[in-house]
Structure 1
Amino acid sequence: MERQWRSAGVGWAGGEPALRWEPGAGATGAGPVSPLSYGAAPGGGNAYGREIGFRVVGERRCVGVRGNACPYAAPVAGRATQAQCADCARLDRSRSVAADTMADDPRPYAVYLAWFGPGMVKVGITREDRGPARLLEQGAVAFSRLGRGPLMAARRCEELLRAGLGVPDRIPYAKKRAIRAALPGPAERAAEVEALHARAAGLAGWPEALEVVACEVADHAGVFGLDGLVAAGGVAGVVRELVAGGSVAGRVVAVAGPDLHLEVESAGASGAPGAVVVDSRLLAGWGLERGDTGDGVTVPVKWVEKGTETGVQEGLF
């Protein structure tokens, strides 16, 4: 009988993407991982091209909280990007930087500017010892740190920058996906980040406890494999949800944040070339079995036509 696995989404350990798997009943520590790239490419970035395939089995269930199983094994909606029931989600947020419930965290934090496309820049904070992991997880194509210091000073600076620069703290994934195959070059990306960094450093009201960090733009286009996405014809569709009995299979051409970009034999409502995006957060809570890499995608897909989502096909390409 084929072994069943449960995905924990995409991880970015060491700057290389991999599907993470739950460790299983009775196990401790992190679970196994399945690399999504072939490691570092000769010219820099990651080398993509792996063929992957899996089948969806059973019913989607709550993943629990921080390694602890949900006591109710509660069902979760297929289109939810957070695979938790309401009770587990509440418990998870009771000790969360995002929810401002960790004000006593003594570790240093970094304030950053993250660039996703022209005019699409956000400000955020991340624990300094995580390095660029948070930016990779969000799918930031370019970024620079702005400052470092205690958590609450970083949080106050984040609010100052949102108001002073007019930039948000969140950008919808749909907007990030829509622009990935049509980005300007690295010099233009860096210039926009540098200009905002200069404006930010000149704002009055910086918290005294926060050290200003010089602008140093890091670019993730090569790490994500965005040239491969362009070569594949851009994004043809986005998986809306997984369903029991459905298949997801294809050749990995790019990975950005939680998104897998798979090239398949024919994509799009009219069979036009392009990649299908799978948000790996939709995988969490499902049972998955190994599938044939030629099975294609047989779960609901929302198609993209000339940059506009135009319809839904509820089945095979």
Structure 2
Amino acid sequence: MAQAWRCSGLRWSADGPVLMWDGGRRSALTWGKQVAFEVADGGVRWCVGARGHVCPMRASVPGRSTGARCEECARLDRAHSVAADTIADDPRPYHVYLAWFGPGMVKVGITALERGPARLLEQGAVCFSWLGAGPLMAARRTEELLRAALRVPDRIPYADKRAVRSVLPRAAAGRAAEVVELHARAVALGDWPESLEREPCQPVDHVGVFGLEGVPAAVGSVSELVAGGAVSGELVAAAGPDLHLATRRGVVVLDTRLITGWELVPATGDELSVPVREFRADTAALQDGLF
């Protein structure tokens, strides 16, 4: 019987996306690579714990959960999250950024300066620019200023990001246009915290990094894994936590956050036997079904 592995998530390195496995194993992902695995038959999806600690309840979690944590571990994890606004005394400097995911989809966010662009790669930002840098609370106030004054959200649903990846503007300048325009409006605002240093608009484009140039439109996305189900496809692109896999039925998006907590074994065929949410012709999600 093949050895089972537990995936701990997708990480972005300088060389591209990497699947991480419990025990430290890493699987580098390159375009054209065959991604094929089966969920152990009769298996259960277990909570992945919080902040590097094993779940004390050994709780099971739903297949559709992208967090793969039970209620208690999710609470503990969020209690130590900068994004949850629960930490006020972090001494590290922070970047404020503008991220673009597609037409009309620009968000504002913050990330520790030491992380560089990692957060933008993890979110699947197609284009981004730094807006400023300074202490955590100053970065937070600037983020709130943009939300209130310019109505810039701090969150874009992943379903919306996926829907437009195959119809992005071809030219990098076209992809950067909304970021450039919003950056100019943002730096012109009053009430900026004095301790936050404005940064010039220098758009960074991730289309090449993600392999999105000419990527075929996805026909659907995996909605959950199930015991005994299989996923198999050729990797044609990746953005944020999403793998775009060419299957016998077309390109299907796999959110790798759905595979954490499961025991996986190598697949032996090219089968796709997990629930998939089909996309309508207008790129909106329709309903769950099995291909």
TM-score, with length taken from structure 2? 0.96
What code does the residue aligned with 1:174 have?
A: A
- Residues 169-193 of structure 1: CA deviation (Å, up to 9, x unaligned): 0000000000000011311111211
Tell me the residue number matched to 1:22: 22
Deviation of the 1:91 alpha carbon: 1.1
8 Å contact kept, 1:246–1:298: yes
1:259 counterpart (223, 242, 245): 242
SS of 1:103 mapped into structure 2 = coil
Q: How far apart in 1 are the matches of 2:287 and 2:72?
A: 34
Say whether residues 1:62 and 2:53 are aligned partners: no
SS of 1:176 mapped into structure 2 = helix
Alignment of 1:302-317 (within 5 A): 302-306=277-281, 307-314=283-290, 317=291
1:35 counterpart (13, 23, 28): 28
SS of 1:196 mapped into structure 2 = helix
Tell me the residue number matched to 1:137: 122
TM-score, with length taken from structure 1? 0.88
Unpaired segments of 5 or more residues in structure 1? 24-30, 38-47, 268-273
8 Å contact kept, 2:36–2:232: yes
SS of 1:198 mapped into structure 2 = helix
1:226 counterpart (212, 233, 240): 212
Tell me the residue number matched to 1:286: 262
Say whether residues 1:195 and 2:154 are aligned partners: no
By percentage of residues, which structure has more strand?
A: 2
Deviation of the 1:139 alpha carbon: 0.4
RMSD: 1.1
Say whether residues 1:71 and 2:56 are aligned partners: yes
Q: How far apart in 2 are the matches of 1:219 and 1:65?
A: 33
Alignment of 1:1-317 (within 5 A): 1-14=1-14, 16-23=16-23, 31-37=24-30, 48-57=31-40, 58-184=43-169, 185-229=171-215, 233-265=216-248, 267=249, 274-292=250-268, 294-306=269-281, 307-314=283-290, 317=291
- Residues 138-195 of structure 1: CA deviation (Å, up to 9, x unaligned): 0000000000000010000000011122110000000000000001131111121111
SS of 2:130 mapped into structure 1 = strand
Unpaired segments of 5 or more residues in structure 2? none
Deviation of the 1:13 alpha carbon: 1.8
Q: How far apart in 1 are the matches of 2:35 and 2:255?
A: 15
Q: How far apart in 2 are the matches of 1:304 and 1:95?
A: 36
8 Å contact kept, 1:18–1:34: yes
SS of 2:182 mapped into structure 1 = helix
SS of 1:12 mapped into structure 2 = strand
Deviation of the 1:296 alpha carbon: 2.5
In the alignment of these two chains, the number of paired residues is 287
Q: How far apart in 2 are the matches of 1:87 and 1:309?
A: 31
Runs of 4+ more than 3 Å apart: none
SS of 2:45 mapped into structure 1 = coil
